């Protein structure tokens, strides 16, 4: 399988929300290590990859959210290496701030070169706050939207579509439009981390079709079909590419600091190859775990993920799950 990108990440900043679909299963605590130490390794890996294997995109980022005094050092770093976060940031999970503090933060981001931020809304106020695990989060994100618009930042509004919130969508869209939002991205939740608990919330094709046209027009432009349609299609192909991510922790930093970028890359590729070699083929997974009558919508990557998760669960396998983003992981494309 061809590796197209290799990222280093450090979950060193606690998130102030507890979202029901968190792919990292964030619990309000940091699991990473010192920011500067991880950044130093990230810079070395990016530099060595550019010199020795420049067909692979090198990247560094941190989590669980962006709310840290080191954020502006990170933006400068991203500018130096032409990384996406030099211009774009996802802004959920910040600690509450007064309006003046929020305006000061957003203005500073604009001055630092940020052009666009992403804000995720989960439904109308009561549902959103429950989903985000924090009372007052909806109102705070609205204030962040207002501040960003005042400071002439582009704001992308991301909204997951689920059985529980689908009837709220027209009201939410109307409210956000009224508050100045104009760019939307609707999506179906993934099934990683706590998102595994939302599988029964996945929309069927008929449920999706009940949505207003403006919402359907803003849905992900990635191909989606029902599970039944995928199974009978001729598009059940094995992934050909992967994006690898190394997750740094206090327990593994010494190990990786002693290695070259290529050695680190080789170690993660070997882990992923081991995972793939033990996994049945896509047609075998479809035959074994596919639901031929299921009308729920999937992009193929998410359907394959569910089949692989069911294989691991059924086999009681101790296989290292390369889909789990709480540790080193791979995205197969």
156-189 pLDDT, tens digit per residue, is 999 999 999 999 999 999 999 999 999 999 999 9
Tell me the pLDDT tens digit for each residue of 183-239. 999 999 988 888 888 999 999 999 999 999 999 999 999 999 999 999 999 999 999
| HSE-CB for 302 with a 13 A CA cutoff | 22
Residue 316 pLDDT more than 80? no
User: For the chain, what is the mean pLDDT?
Assistant: 96
Nearby residues of 17 by Cβ (< 8 Å), 6 or more positions away: 65, 92, 93, 132, 133, 134, 137
For residue 58, is pLDDT > 80?
Answer: yes
At residue 201, the pLDDT reads 96
* Beta strand spans in the chain (E): 2-13, 57-64, 88-90, 116-120, 154-160, 183-187, 225-226, 241-248, 297-298, 329-332
| The predicted structure's pLDDT at residue 193 | 84
In this predicted structure, what is the pLDDT of residue 27? 78
Q: What is the CA radius of gyration of the chain?
A: 21
Within the chain, which residue ranges are assigned CATH 3.20.20.70? 87-221
Q: How far is CA 186 from CA 84, 156, 194, 298, 308, in A?
A: 21, 10, 19, 14, 25
For residue 119 the two structure tokens come to 């804000």
22 Rama class: left (phi>0) / alpha (psi -120 to 50) / beta? beta
CATH of domain 87-221: 3.20.20.70
pLDDT tier at 320 (50, 70, 90 boundaries)?
confident
Question: Which pLDDT band holds residue 25 (cuts at 50, 70, 90)?
Answer: confident
């Amino acid at each position: 399988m061809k590796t197209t990108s290799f990222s280093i990440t450090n979950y060193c900043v606690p998130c102030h929300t507890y979202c029901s679909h968190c792919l990292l299963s964030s619990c309000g605590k940091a699991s990473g290590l010192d920011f500067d130490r991880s950044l130093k390794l990230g810079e070395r890996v990016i530099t060595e990859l550019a010199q020795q294997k420049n067909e692979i995109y090198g990247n560094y980022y941190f989590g669980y959210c962006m709310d840290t005094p080191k954020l502006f050092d990170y933006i400068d770093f991203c500018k130096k290496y032409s990384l996406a976060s030099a211009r774009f940031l996802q802004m959920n999970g910040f600690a509450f701030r007064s309006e003046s503090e929020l305006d000061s933060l957003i203005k500073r981001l604009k001055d630092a070169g940020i052009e666009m931020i992403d804000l995720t809304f989960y439904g109308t106020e009561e549902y959103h706050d429950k989903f985000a695990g924090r009372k007052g989060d909806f109102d705070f994100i609205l204030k962040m939207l207002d501040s960003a618009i005042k400071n002439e930042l582009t704001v992308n509004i991301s909204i997951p579509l689920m059985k529980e919130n689908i009837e709220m969508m027209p009201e939410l869209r109307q409210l956000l439009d009224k508050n100045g939002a104009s760019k939307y991205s609707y999506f179906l939740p993934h099934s990683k981390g706590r998102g595994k608990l939302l599988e029964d919330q996945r929309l069927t094709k008929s449920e999706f079709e009940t949505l207003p046209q403006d919402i359907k027009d803003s849905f992900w432009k990635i191909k989606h079909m029902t599970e039944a349609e995928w199974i009978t299609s001729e598009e059940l192909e094995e992934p050909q590419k992967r994006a690898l991510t190394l997750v740094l922790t206090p327990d593994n930093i010494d190990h990786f600091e002693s290695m070259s970028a290529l050695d680190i890359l080789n170690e993660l590729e070997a882990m992923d190859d081991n995972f793939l070699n033990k996994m049945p083929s896509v047609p075998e997974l479809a035959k074994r775990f596919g639901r031929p009558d299921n009308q729920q919508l999937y992009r193929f990557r998410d359907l394959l993920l569910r089949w692989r998760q069911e294989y691991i669960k059924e086999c009681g396998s101790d296989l290292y799950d390369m889909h789990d983003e709480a540790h080193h992981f791979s995205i197969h494309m």
